[in-house]
Amino acid sequence: MSVPILQPGTGPLPGDHYLPSRPDTVLWGRLPCETDAAVLRIQPGETVTIDTVSHEGILEDQGKDPRAYFGGHGVADDDVLTDAVEIAASLSRDPAADGPHVVTGPIHVAGAEPGDLLKITVVELALRAPYGVISNRHGKGALVGELPRAEGNVSVFAPVEERDGTLCGVLPVVEGGERIVAFPLAPFLGTMGVAVAGSERPHSVPPGIHGGNIDINLMTEGASLYLPVQVAGALAYVGDPHFAQGDGEVALTALEAPLRATLRFDVVPREEARRAFGAVSGPLVRTDEYLVPTGMDPDLNVAMRACVRAAIDLIQARWGLDEHLAYAYLSAATDFDISQVVDIVCGVHARIREADFAEVDRG
């Protein structure tokens, strides 16, 4: 089970459209806003295959030269993605003002209007390379001021290897040692969002109503993300590809590594959205098993309460439960998880089992 290198445009491109990541189709450190021109225009229901690019390996503190950086970890020149090389060479960001993420888009989805929901379904995620990076930087992560210990930032290179038929990220026990710690991959996109109104591009780090860097590790193949459309055409974008991430993302980053993502974009009109989910005021995830409302705030206590409110609202709107019964149900039956605590705005998401409501007639 080897991982072929998916250079831009090579290999299977299953989507109705293909969107590469090039200096003119990405933003580095900022998210699209209303006044940004679409780099692709599609009809609702169409799929797009997007070659996403990880910021890890191209950042300033890593030398801003992926061939040199990954080469230092034994990666051959041909196995470094040319789009990452091109972006690092052509674009700049202001580390003091901008986030680290490379986001690809925006994509204009015909007919999407404010009040509708944009539904982004993860059809397929293919690894583009058999390696990634996990970073911890000063002033960031769950243990700000404690880690990293030394002066420099810490980036841990992590190749992908097969273990018992499963692709895993592998780490050594001690720096330079044999790579005998192995954790299974569960790829997803850390960032999926819609453009905000106005002419100011948001910082790429804090997630919000627009989605963005939500870092919810349930967004694997088959999952859908519903986002309240903010501007005409939605102007969707994705990036921050992850091979694996734990809830919390405690050191600062996931196993950051490039994915070829095939996504379907659908528009859920306002009235249909309201009947299905009520007044969705932030990102809503759906998996085979769960409906997953979210809460976000710089204070994790506040994010948790926001998520509880969103969960009660969803259950009331979707299944008609009395408020006190919705609250009781959540207390006994729903896990509230920490999405991440390292993106300025913390996230909490609630896994509501849809099967528990199978007998409820939604009218």
- Could you tell me if residue 222 is left (phi over 0), alpha (psi between -120 and 50 degrees) or otherwise beta? left
State yes or no: residue 357 binds a copy of itself (CB under 8 A): yes
| Cβ atoms 47, 15 nearer than 8 A | yes
Nearer CB in complex with a copy of itself: 133/195: 133
- Contact residues for 284 (Cβ-Cβ < 8 A; gap 6+): 117, 225, 226, 227, 277, 291, 292, 293, 294, 314
Q: Which of 234, 244, 267, 292 binds a copy of itself (CB under 8 A)?
A: 244
Nearer CB in complex with a copy of itself: 111/246: 246
Q: Which of 9, 275, 323, 344 binds a copy of itself (CB under 8 A)?
A: 323
Q: Which stretch binds a copy of itself (CB under 8 A): 34-42, 192-200, 259-267, 325-333?
A: 325-333
Nearer CB in complex with a copy of itself: 243/265: 243
State yes or no: residue 337 binds a copy of itself (CB under 8 A): yes
Nearer CB in complex with a copy of itself: 200/323: 323
State yes or no: residue 279 binds a copy of itself (CB under 8 A): no
Q: Which of 248, 266, 269, 354 binds a copy of itself (CB under 8 A)?
A: 248
State yes or no: residue 308 binds a copy of itself (CB under 8 A): yes
State yes or no: residue 338 binds a copy of itself (CB under 8 A): yes
- Which residues inside 10-29 make contact with a copy of itself, applying CB under 8 A? none
Q: How far is CA 188 from CA 127, 261, 266, 267, 306, in A?
A: 10, 9, 19, 21, 24
In the complex, the smallest distance separating the C-beta of residue 359 from a copy of itself, rounded to whole angstroms, is 4
Nearer CB in complex with a copy of itself: 204/217: 217
- Which residues inside 118-137 make contact with a copy of itself, applying CB under 8 A? 134-136
State yes or no: residue 180 binds a copy of itself (CB under 8 A): yes
Cα 245 to chain centroid, rounded: 10
In the complex, the smallest distance separating the C-beta of residue 294 from a copy of itself, rounded to whole angstroms, is 14
In the complex, the smallest distance separating the C-beta of residue 278 from a copy of itself, rounded to whole angstroms, is 15
Q: Is the N-terminal amide bond of 148 cis, ω within 30° of 0? A: yes
Q: Which of 48, 334, 343, 347 binds a copy of itself (CB under 8 A)?
A: 334
Nearer CB in complex with a copy of itself: 20/141: 141
Q: How many residues bind a copy of itself (CB under 8 A)?
A: 72
Q: Which of 31, 109, 125, 158 binds a copy of itself (CB under 8 A)?
A: 158
State yes or no: residue 289 binds a copy of itself (CB under 8 A): no
State yes or no: residue 324 binds a copy of itself (CB under 8 A): yes
Q: Which stretch binds a copy of itself (CB under 8 A): 114-122, 231-239, 268-276, 295-303?
A: 295-303
In the complex, the smallest distance separating the C-beta of residue 231 from a copy of itself, rounded to whole angstroms, is 32
State yes or no: residue 313 binds a copy of itself (CB under 8 A): no
State yes or no: residue 223 binds a copy of itself (CB under 8 A): no
In whole angstroms, give the CA distance from residue 239 to residue 212: 9
